[in-house]
Amino acid sequence: MRKEILFAIISGIVFGLIIAFGIWRTNIALKDKKTLSPATSSSTPSPQQNSNIELAIAKPLDFDIIFENPVSLSGLTKSNALVVISTKERDFIVSPQSSGTFEKEFDLDPAINLLVITSVDDSGATFSKNLTLVYSSEFAKLVDLAGQPEATSAADKSATDSIRKKVEEKLQIASNKPKAYLGTVTDIAEGVIQLKNNNSEIQQVSIKADNVSFIKIDKSTTEVKYKDLAIGDYIVAMGFANGNGVLEGRRILIVTPEDPLQIKVILGTITDLSKSNITIKNKKDSEQATFTLSKSIKIEKEVDGVQKTARLADLTEGDEIVAVIKVDDSGAEVRTIHMVSSPPSPTSGE
């Protein structure tokens, strides 16, 4: 009997050690997984964790619909980098935290917003991502319960149905973020619009005519009908994508397509400067290039963590700068300069 009790005790200890070892190995595996995927970790990533991350955007996501201004864009990059957020007309330069995280608030334009986010590290290497956002305060009204009356009787059945519908839309937003499909209409069938997006991919938008608003934006903004939509129109379709990738359309804009935004960011040294041109020696490859200065150029420098406005007269040869260059059919134009450092002043007696 004593042998049986002793054997049972030993077996229990061994079994307990096996379970404890399994839990320990599981915890180690989970810890390693979090280290390899800092973007999904709930804790703030350390500089060591993000050392291999060139550029990642946390929010918003591509083709998100934004309801309110300003929008807050956040992400992760190298801690020794600067982040340039470029819109159609402006550039915002952000210094990341020591962990590599960054965040910037700014206003979006109505409808289509093409953004280029560029990270440039202290060696001059650049990493870019394109982001398309759609700003529509009107779309938000489709799911807004504010001001809706409370139905209390059978006579208010239509109001009750309306409220229930809006509640369902609210729940749909919570579980399925609204998205936008952009592209040229290639086919119109009963209840379905087919379009080709900017990547030449075919996408479909389902339509319930009594549940979708059609807006044409040209020199003015006009509400139109489903029948007014034509093959060849460029549209911004807003709604909710189902499991098959078909967008359940709620608001359709007929617009003129935006030209792609082409932005080049250079970290380098000024080797020549005039009122209309600047020559920069790229720190990455030591190549020199001359660019036109925009008439509305923005020059800034960071003082104690705050961006301060500077003047063209503040720039001298030898300054290290980050130049944001917009490229289009007319050429390459520097529209923003961020002063990184100035050459040391010569000492007396030299």
If one looks up domain 263-341 in CATH, what number appears?
2.40.50.140
Tens digit of pLDDT for each residue in 14-35? 455 444 444 444 444 444 433 3
> At 7, is the pLDDT very low, low, confident or very high (cuts 50, 70, 90)?
low
Tokens of 27: 């915890």
Contact, 76 vs 101, CB < 8 A? yes
Closest CA to 237 of 182, 194, 312: 182
In this structure, CATH architecture of domain 55-135:
Sandwich (2.60)
Q: What is the pLDDT of residues 31-67, one digit of tens each?
A: 443 333 333 333 344 444 444 689 999 999 999 999 9
pTM of the model as a whole: 0.76
d(CA 188, CA 198): 18
Confidence class for position 339, pLDDT limits 50, 70, 90: very high
* 88 class by beta-carbon count within 10 Å (0-12 exposed, 13-18 middle, 19+ buried): middle
pLDDT band at 173 (very low <50, low <70, confident <90, very high): low
Q: Report which residue type is found at 112.
A: I
Write out the CATH class of domain 176-260: mainly beta
pLDDT, tens digit, for every residue of 126-153?
999 999 999 999 998 875 533 333 444 5
Higher-pLDDT residue of 168, 219: 219
Give CA–CA dist 36/79, Å, rounded: 17
pLDDT digits (tens, 9 = 90+) for 247-279: 999 999 999 999 999 999 999 999 999 999 999
Q: Pairing between strand 288-303 and 277-282?
A: antiparallel
Distance CA 135, CA 107 (A): 10
In this prediction, residue 175 carries a pLDDT of: 56
pLDDT of residue 211: 85
Q: What is the mean pLDDT of the chain?
A: 82
| Backbone phi and psi for residue 13, each to the nearest 5 degrees, phi listed first | -65, -45
Cα–Cα nearest to 72, from 64, 326, 80: 64
